[in-house]
Amino acid sequence: MYLVCVTGDPLSGEQRIAAYGLLKSAPEPCVDYGCVDDDPLQFCTAFAVTYRPLLLSAMPPDRNLFHPAAPTYNVMSHPFLSEDPGIRPRRPMLALVLGNTMLSTVPGISGAGPTPEKTLLTPVLDAELVTTGAITSIPARPNTPTGCPTPASITRSMMELTGLAPVLINAGLAHTPTVPCLDAYGSPGGDPRMEDAVPQAALLFERGEMIGRLLSQYSDLLMLGECVPGGTTTALCVLRALGYDASVSSAFIKNPLGLKDAVCRDVLARIDATGAREPLDILRAAGDPMMPVAAGIASAYSGEILFAGGTQMLAVAATLKALGKRVPHLATTVYVRDDPSAGFVRSVADVGTVAYFVDPNFAEIGHVGLARYCIGEVKEGMGAGGALTLAYLMGHEPEEITRKVFDFVRKYA
């Protein structure tokens, strides 16, 4: 099976789902829909039904059936993991650092909740789901408003598959957790446009180091992830304050880059005015409580460590590099990698680390909600990409992993 990508003006999310359905339902399918960028949907319909065989045939590089004027297209295989890290742990552990930033309550910043205010509750509900397998504290299902299963659903399915119990760490939550957590005794991050976002950043880093030494006693591989709604915006601020020409991803299909850039400009202006230059000073001014705690854990952990996540964990990696510490590799989903607005691969290279990309093949799984990941919704969160990677490193086959995700989320369809 092959994935065919045609670049050009993108379809809307709903058009992509419709195109996906057409390609899947057409007789004698010979192409897997991954990301088809096209003109109006009517043209896509005619193409999907009539011209599918030609898409896999050799075509001149300066034209194709969608665009007569020289877009690029690629035909790629579907490896489950872009590269094998070569780690086979005996005592693996998944740990997730939970926190809030008040930036998630800015309308349009975060898609990790049904309303901006309710994004503050998302880490607590995600922790409940990943730990217990259900959300019971409020009447809610682990789906986005469009029916896309949340990343916490994926992470929970991998906990069931591997038999691991996740370790949850409260870096600074707005609401009291409903499941047991290690507590760093932080506070929710403030709005960095107005004030220092994490006044206790240095102290939280030290407490993270204590937690890292503790976790070292119980594991030889730590997959460390996060859940911070609005955290891609704090990550953008931190990466740029550290000197990187970075962009970041989003849970939205359409990344609100204009809004994030506007916030970031205000934050960087305040940082320049205060003279913050040292890495922990930048986290104090512009970050969120997850960042110093995660950086401290990674700094002190004695075994193998991978960061489970995309741009938010990359900001932590960049902080560690600036501190002169070990810089972990990352494990995330292909949906982060393939987000053209994020420039994630370039940013990973700029930081000087490595990212492993897992492809759970949600385009083929037969679940319309999971298929939304393929059009850019959600993409990553709550350590989902790392959890999928960890299951693979523990010896589970890709088909087994994908089937477990499907079986778990089907309960909420």
pLDDT given for residue 241 in this prediction: 97
Which position has the token pair 């299951």?
A: 391
Residues of the chain with CATH 3.40.50.10210: 92-412
pLDDT given for residue 69 in this prediction: 34
CB 207 within 8 A of CB 184: yes
Burial of 187 (0-12, 13-18, 19+ CB in 10 A): middle
pLDDT given for residue 19 in this prediction: 52
Phi, psi of 174 (to 5 degrees): -80, -25
Radius of gyration, alpha carbons of the chain: 21
pLDDT given for residue 264 in this prediction: 95
* Rounded-to-integer distance, Cα 350 and Cα 365, Å: 34
pLDDT given for residue 9 in this prediction: 43
Strand 355-358 with 221-227, pairing: unpaired
Residue 332: strand pairing partners: 357
Note if the pTM is more than 0.85: no
Number of neighbours of residue 400 by Cβ within 10 angstroms: 12
Instruction: Give tens-digit pLDDT for 108-167.
Output: 888 777 788 899 999 999 999 999 999 989 988 888 888 889 999 999 999 999 999 999
pLDDT given for residue 36 in this prediction: 36
pLDDT given for residue 183 in this prediction: 98
Phi, psi of 95 (to 5 degrees): -125, 140
CATH fold of the domain at 92-412: Rossmann fold (3.40.50)
Q: Which contiguous run of DSSP H or E holds residue 300?
A: helix 290-300
pLDDT given for residue 413 in this prediction: 52
**Average pLDDT per consecutive 10 residues, the chain (413 residues; last block may be shorter):** 39 49 41 35 31 33 34 46 96 98 92 84 96 92 86 97 98 97 98 97 98 98 97 97 91 82 95 93 98 98 98 98 98 95 94 97 89 90 97 97 95 69
**201-225 CB burial, b ≥16 within 10 A, e <16:** bbbbbebbbebbeebbeebebbbbb
